[in-house]
Chain A
Amino acid sequence: ETGVTQSPTHLIKTRGQQVTLRCSSQSGHNTVSWYQQALGQGPQFIFQYYREEENGRGNFPPRFSGLQFPNYSSELNVNALELDDSALYLCASSLEVTPGNTIYFGEGSWLTVV
Chain B
Amino acid sequence: EDQVTQSPEALRLQEGESSSLNCSYTVSGLRGLFWYRQDPGKGPEFLFTLYSAGEEKEKERLKATLTKKESFLHITAPKPEDSATYLCAVQVGYQKVTFGIGTKLQVIP
Interface, chain A (partner B; CB < 8 A): 2, 4, 33, 35, 40-45, 47-48, 55-56, 58, 90, 97-108, 110
Contact = CB atoms under 8 A, between A and B. Distances in A.
Contacts of B93: 56, 99
Contacts of B51: 100
B47 to A, nearest CB: 10
Given A41-B101, A42-B99, A100-B49, 13 more contacts: A2-B43, A4-B43, A45-B95, A45-B96, A47-B95, A55-B94, A56-B94, A97-B95, A99-B91, A99-B94, A106-B43, A107-B43, A108-B42
Contacts of B102: 42
Interface of B: 4, 31-32, 34, 36, 41-46, 49, 51, 87, 89, 91-102
A35 B51 CA distance: 22
12 contacts: A42-B100, A45-B96, A56-B93, A56-B94, A56-B96, A97-B94, A99-B31, A99-B91, A102-B34, A102-B46, A103-B34, A105-B45
Contact of A99 (B4, B32, B42): B32
Contacts of A55: 94-95
A69 B51 CA distance: 31
A90 B91 CA distance: 17
A90 B38 CA distance: 12
